[in-house]
Amino acid sequence: MSAGTAHRQNSRLREWIFFYILSIIAALVLSAILVEATGGDWRPVMNALLDGSLRRPGRWGETLGTAAPMLLVALGTIISSKAGLINIGQEGQLFVGAAFATYFGFLLGGPGPLNVVLILIFGAVGGAAWAGVAALLKFWRNVPEVLSTLLLVTVGGQLVAYGLSQPWLLLAPLADRGNRNQVSTQLADDNRLPRPEIFGNEVPSAVFIAIALAAVVSVLLARTTWGFRLRMLGRNPRAAQRSGVGQTRYGAAALLLSGAFAGVAGAAMLAGGGFAFGNYQLVPGFSANIGWTGLLVALVAREKALVAIPVAFVFASLRTGSSFVGATGVEGRITDVIQGFLVLALLVPPAVMFLRERQRARAAATERV
Amino acid sequence: MVSGSTDLPGAGSSMESAPAVDLRNITKRFGAVTACDQIDLALTRGRIHGILGENGAGKSTLMKILIGLVLPDEGSITIDGEATQIHSPLAAAELGIGMVHQHFSLVDPLTVWENVALGDAGRLDPNAIRNRIGNIADQYGLRIEPDARVGDLTAGLRQRVEIIKCLRRDPSIVIFDEPTSVLTPEESVQLFASLRQVVADEGRAVVLVSHKLDEVLHATDDITIMRQGKVVDRLLAADADAPTLARGMVGRDVSLRSERAALGVLAVDDPPVDHVLAQPDGTPVLEILGATAHAPDGRAVLNNFSLKLHAGEIVGIAGVEGNGQRELGDLLSSLISLDAGSVVVDGHKITPGRSGAMARAGVGVIPEDRHDSGIVLDMSLAENLILVDQSAVAPKGFIDHGALEAHANAMIEQFDIQCSGPHAPMWSLSGGNQQRVVLARELSQQPKVLVAAQPTRGLDVGAIEYMSDRLRAAADDGVAVLLISSELEEILDMSHRIVVMHAGRLVGEMPRADVDLERLGLMMGGATV
Amino acid sequence: MGGFFQAFWDIASSNSTYLNGALFAAFLAFAATGEWVAERAGTLNISVEGMLLAGAFTSAVGYNITESMILALFCGVLGGLIIAGVQAEMSHRLTADQFVVGLTLNILVLGLAGFLDNEIQPATKLASSFDVPLLSDLPLIGQALFGQRWPFYVLYPLIPFTWWLVYRTRWGLELRSVGENPQSADVSGIDVNKRRRQSIYYAGFTSGLGGWFLIFGQIGLFEDSVIGGRGFIAIAAVIFGGWTLRGTLAGCIIFAGALSFRLSVQGLGYEVNSELLQSLPFIVTLLGMAIFAHRVRAPAALAQPFVRGLK
């Protein structure tokens, strides 16, 4: 590489960093203005966020535990979007996955550690099945997956809630319900994912699973023939069709896999426990927007599995921090707003850079009509 | 070499009246490339001005400047004596400049009148537009049904719509951009006749942009030759002859047949010796039987089409664009399935439309539009070389990046691909080099059949020659080559055997040695003779 | 089985089914009309959900401040337009992916509405009813179509106006050409991305109206869950309708039927699990698309960004 191109790449990198920092600041300033405008004070909010996510004892373990399912969802999203498919129904796939995990976890009821693995696998199966409905609708009936996955979020949520009202499905026996009327039986102690203690923080082991899978997905997409074909399909479906990468086969596989990741995330939330995800049992609203957030993680990470790791951690920090914000007198949902502004702002730099790259490319190409 | 100084013969001063358009010193750079380098051009009312040059010479950019799609970096534009600037197609229309585009100006699902109205300003008045279309139709003999859907029309009629769309604003300056690429030879003659009428009756200035030497020589009054962004010669058509024009276009004497074909010279009478192939032996390598396929709107795009192709022969598919050639290419790329008929490659029946089936069976394709199914712009050059088959660089399902790079480097060298390296993104390559990547990939698969659809479109003469040589070499090595081209010159130059397609049907067939141009032209128009 | 048919007949003959059905259909139609315009120009605009919610919220706040439903209408439109502005500028000026932008906007608006609703807690009420003389006396449909609260009637001029705009004006012609073949439109001298932005603004306008209608014409109070995914049903109606306005409205009516059926079943005291009933409209929508989506032809350039010189 010549000194000239190295220099140019350097300055391009600086441009990237500059744009990104600028957008993050803009998003934060906008959020701060909103807090001030509604009569709050942004400084204590900031402090509460940091306390809740990192500084207070035990909190960063909690944040890691929250990041794990977000990361899992994001990994699935990355796989489907590499194949050019827009799966935005992870929230539903996650919930259905968790429901499958709950149902079969109890139905089979095998010995502890083995059952944990089964729970995760059935979570994957459930998520994949729910994404499979969208795949079926797309490749058989030509229904855009953007819309079917979205609509299936609501349907999935309602169906699981229905299951939670039926004793023959998910509803716990009367004795185990406590004072709630839509709740599943709690997972037995030996059916839970371990939470080892590291530096004074309980860390749900789902984190390690998620990070390992991030590495696997990264290699899968970048180094394997399958990943190569998937990328080909996403970038040019007609070239892929000619080259033996059928949209139905590879596209459906990508969609199912992406649902499976969301399902595993649901199962991991169920078996992993923690403050955020309840008490090893399924309840209505169990998915708790983790599917949506995981989707945003994937968008911000721009289809890069390893980048998704830190991004998931940041978004999880907003989540765990938000529970501390209420004490400052500002509504805790401000973190949803911060998150939204942040994602929106982070969309700008790549778009601007894309336009600039294209201008450069067009400038470099000779005239050809 | 002559750069665009103003005192050349024919630079406007010698014409009868003041120029309708006077471009001075027009320069346009795209990064390091100067597409137009200090161009002077004067157009006169009542005359047809031919702008001749090979692909990439800067003709299109110059015309885009005139039509307001591209802004020049330097230079002045004077219309009827008034200095002006043209910022948009709408502004150009207001100045009386209209263009008949080669591609991309009609919207299929809209009706004729809606298309004609597109790009105007002011209230939309369907009846006024219908009347105007009727008037133009009467005046120039361009009959058309204003309420027909443009998508249902043939290529020739679509061009008619395009011409009406341009004339409807009553432009005083009309630009025709490569107008004959979608016409049969006969239709071309008609077009030039009505062109004459437009010029003679109403004192319009007409520009004919073309890379076909013959066409410019016979249909124009004044000729400007461009090469590599510069004007290299200006002359009167009456004083010009083919060798002079050819020399101007390429910058050296032209003697080879294939070069002449690339410049658009029809050479009918002297089939080269090597084009008389010994009677092909025995079993065909590719056999298409009764292929029938329909477009979503029910129109038959392939209609009981049958063809046999033998090892070592080059068969040219002649025909006007839009008569099923694209679908034939798609069929052999596994992109469409058939409603009836079958495809047999080397004795094996191949399921049409099953992804990758044709490629696996040994059918290589250089597609008509390489961006459509030939390459993946957002992948690297090296990756584009293994789209079809990854087994060589990924023995166990894992891509070996060392092997990938080595493979790419070998191809870059063997096919002389200009690029910044094996990891260069595909979009950073020029069109000619992208085409070489496709060629490299398809030939390295050692295909039994090679489909080359419009393989030289948009390439300059050097690249055309390279491509033609490669295709001939492939045929010599025993590959059955199917050449699909709308350029008759190319078909005549390359093929051993010529078949003609019309409306998705095979209307005729003849060995190269027996070509009769008139008959060929009639067949392209759909006549069975 | 007899019980089932009896129940079905009860529901189909009950006035409230039609009354509610018309309200749901009107709400969907406000959104779907604008969405249809945006899609004809080439944007599959999933932020319509966010536009509706923003419109509902800003109109509620507007009423809270001004105590005028007319001014609240303008506030609602403004809310829809703001979201449309972000969607339009980001996806058709900066060329960010339209789905990514739309999705993010939906989540952001939900967060904003939830946050600000708690901070402001706007008080609203329903508009007064207005019976159109004579027409409202028609059997079954009379009350449903002509006996509603007055915001309902805003829809009546909106639909023919939109039709006229798209099929009879130059703007509409250019809009359609941009959704079918942006390259040709560009060469013909049309600013492709500008038309696309404008079409999204139109979707923001009608969705803002839709949000306003929901608050003052149908439910009377704001919560952050008022839209509840029905924006997506409006998108489905456009696809179901094969990208024609007539078909889109038919889709709105069918999907609204499912929404209304749900209410009536409960209202008439039939015992059906409420969760299953809740998901019914969405299942009907999915089935509707499964049956019709492969028969219709989408605008050729739907969901494809346009950058000049980039095919």
pLDDT tens digits, C60-77: 999 999 999 999 999 999
Query: Hey, are the CB atoms on B104 and C180 less than 8 Å from each other?
Result: no
Label residues A142-174 b or e (16+ Cβ within 10 Å = b).
bbbbbbbbbbbbbbbbbbbbbbbbeeeebbbee
Cross-chain residue pair A296–C105, CB shorter than 8 Å: no
Contact with chain A for residue C302, Cβ under 8 A: no
Q: Widest CA span of chain B, in angstroms?
A: 75
Range of the domain at C37: 9-121+144-292
Q: Looking at residue A172, what is its pLDDT?
A: 82
- Residue B331 to residues A201, B195, B288, B351, B367, Cα–Cα distance (Å): 62, 38, 10, 10, 11
Question: C235 contacts in A (CB within 8 Å)?
Answer: 147
Which strands form B505-511's sheet, in the order they lie side by side?
B363-366, B449-453, B480-484, B314-318, B497-502, B505-511
- The pLDDT profile of chain B, 529 residues, written as one tens digit per residue, is 334 333 444 444 444 457 889 999 999 887 777 888 999 999 998 899 999 988 778 888 899 899 888 888 889 999 988 888 888 888 888 888 988 887 668 999 999 999 999 988 888 999 999 999 999 888 877 888 999 999 888 777 888 898 888 888 888 899 998 887 777 777 788 888 878 877 877 788 999 998 888 888 888 999 999 988 899 999 998 888 888 888 888 887 766 566 667 666 666 565 554 555 555 567 899 999 999 999 877 888 999 999 999 999 999 999 888 889 999 999 999 999 999 999 999 999 999 999 999 999 999 999 988 888 999 998 999 999 999 999 889 888 999 999 999 999 999 999 999 888 999 999 888 778 899 999 999 999 999 999 999 998 877 777 888 899 999 999 999 999 999 998 888 898 889 999 999 989 999 898 888 888 888 888 888 777 6
Would C64 be classed as within a structural domain?
yes
The string of DSSP codes covering B396-431 is TSB--HHHHHHHHHHHHHHTT--SS-TTSBGGGS-H
**Which residues of chain A are within 8 Å of residue C109 when distances are taken between CB atoms?**
340
Residues B108, C180: C-beta atoms closer than 8 Å: yes
Instruction: Check CB contact of C14 with chain B, cutoff 8 Å.
Output: no
Which residues in chain B have Cβ-Cβ distances shorter than 8 Å to C170? 117, 120-124
Predicted confidence (pLDDT) per residue in B136-151, tens digit: 888 877 888 999 999 8
R_g of chain C, CA atoms, integer Å: 20
Quote the DSSP letter at residue B452.
E
> Does C173 sit within 8 Å of B117, measured CB to CB?
yes
Number of domains into which chain C is organized:
1
Q: Which residues pair with residue B210 across a beta bridge?
A: B52
Cα gap B106→B101, rounded to integer Å: 9
Asked if residue A229 has pLDDT above 70, the reply is: yes
Inter-residue contact A66 to A320 (CB < 8 Å): yes
Q: For residue B443, which of B489, B516, B388, B507 has the smallest C-alpha distance?
A: B388
Cross-chain Cβ contact B359/A226 below 8 Å = no
Nearest CA in chain C to B114: C173
Nearest CB to B376; choose among A236, A246, A369: A236
- Ramachandran class of A248: left when φ > 0, alpha when ψ lies in -120 to 50, beta otherwise: alpha
pLDDT at residue number B381:
95
CA of A298, closest CA in chain B: separation in Å?
Answer: 20
Q: Do B397 and A224 touch (CB under 8 A)?
A: yes
Mark yes or no for CB contact B377/A232 under 8 Å: no
Q: B117, C170: Cβ pair inside 8 Å? A: yes
C contact test, residue of A141, A311, A315 with most C CBs within 10 A? A141
Q: Which residues in B lie closer than 8 A to residue A225 (C-beta atoms)? A: 390, 394, 397-399
Is C291's Cβ below 8 Å from some Cβ in A? Answer: yes
Query: Which chains have 3+ CB pairs within 8 A of C?
Result: A, B
Cα dihedral A181, A183, A188, A193 sign: negative
pLDDT tens sequence across C236-263: 999 989 999 999 999 999 999 988 888 8
pTM of the model: 0.88
Q: What's the confidence (pLDDT) of residue B267? A: 63
Nearest to B387 among A5, A223, A232 (CB): A232
Q: Could you tell me if A120 and A267 are in contact, meaning their C-beta atoms sit under 8 angstroms apart?
A: yes
For residue A146, give the nearest of C46, C115, C276 by CB distance: C46
Instruction: Dump pLDDT digits (tens) for A8-35.
Output: 677 878 888 888 899 999 999 999 999 9
C1 occurs within a structural domain? no
The nearest CA of chain A is from the CA of C267 a distance in Å of 20
Task: Quote the pLDDT of residue B3.
Answer: 40
A139 min Cα distance to partner chain B (Å): 14
Strand duo B286-294 + B340-345: pairing: antiparallel
Backbone angles phi, psi at A213, to 5 degrees: -65, -30
State whether residue B376 sits within 8 Å of chain C by CB. no
ipTM: 0.88
**Nearest-by-CA chain B residue for C294:** B296
Residue of B nearest to C183 (CA): B104
B307 in Cβ contact with B501 (< 8 Å): no
In angstroms, the Cα distances linking B338 to A238, A246, B328, B334, B350 are 17, 17, 11, 10, 11
Are the beta carbons of A243 and B387 separated by less than 8 Å?
yes
Flag whether C136 is in a domain.
Answer: no
- Domain assignment present for C188: yes
CA atoms of A145 and A89, how far apart (whole Å): 9
Amino acid at A77: T
Task: Work out the widest C-alpha separation in chain A, in whole angstroms.
Answer: 77
Assess if residue C270 is contained within a domain.
yes
As a whole number of angstroms, the distance between CA B162 and CA B168 comes to 10
Residue C179: predicted pLDDT = 96
Taking a contact as any Cβ pair under 8 Å apart, which residues of chain B between 304 and 323 contact chain A?
A: none
Domains in chain B (CATH in brackets) are 1-96+178-254 (3.40.50.300), 107-170 (no CATH), 270-362+447-529 (3.40.50.300), 375-446 (no CATH)
Residues C46, C305 contacting (CB under 8 angstroms)? no
Task: Name the 3-class secondary structure at B25.
Answer: strand
Would you say C192 and C306 are in contact if contact means Cβ atoms under 8 Å apart? Answer: yes
Dist. CA A248–CA A236, nearest whole Å: 14
Record: contact B56-A362, CB cut-off 8 A: no
Residues of C within 8 A of A331 (CB-CB) are: 114-115, 118-119
B361–A contact, CB cutoff 8 A: no
DSSP string, B179-227: GGGGS-HHHHHHHHHHHHHHHHHH--EEEEEES-HHHHHHH-SEEEEEE
Half-sphere exposure of A250 (CA within 13 A, CB side): 26
Pick out chain C residues at pLDDT < 50: 1, 310-311
CB–CB contact C174 B122 (8 Å): no
- Angstrom CA distances, B219 to B123, B208, B237, B242, B522, stand at 38, 9, 9, 13, 21
Question: How far does Cα B267 stand from its chain's mean position?
Answer: 19
Could you say which of C90, C111, C229 has the minimum Cβ distance to residue A340?
A: C111
C31: domain CATH number is 1.10.3470.10
Does residue C262 fall inside a structural domain?
yes
Sort out which chain C residues have CB atoms less than 8 A from A39's CB and list them. 119
Beta strands in B310-377 (DSSP E): 314-318, 340-345, 348-350, 363-366
B168 interface with C at CB cutoff 8 Å: no
CA distance A94 to chain C (A): 17
Chain Cα centroid distance, residue A177: 30
Flag whether C98 is in a domain.
yes
Residue C134 maps to a domain:
no
Q: Which of A162, A334, A337 sits opposite C108 (nearest CB)?
A: A337
In one-letter notation, the amino acid at residue A143 is: V
pLDDT tens-digit profile of C73-82? 999 999 999 9
Q: How does pLDDT run across A282-300, given as a tens digit for each residue? A: 988 898 899 999 999 999 9
pLDDT of residue B254: 67
- CATH 1.10.3470 is held by the domain A41-329: yes
Contact A366/B56, CB-based, under 8 Å? yes
Q: What is the pLDDT of residue B1?
A: 36
Contact C189 B109 (CB under 8 A): no
For A202, the 3-state DSSP assignment is strand
Contact assessment for residue B232 and residue B225, using Cβ atoms and an 8 Å cutoff: yes
For the segment A64-92, the average pLDDT, to the nearest whole number, is 95
Measuring CA to CA, which residue among C224, B527, B357 is closest to residue A241?
Answer: B357
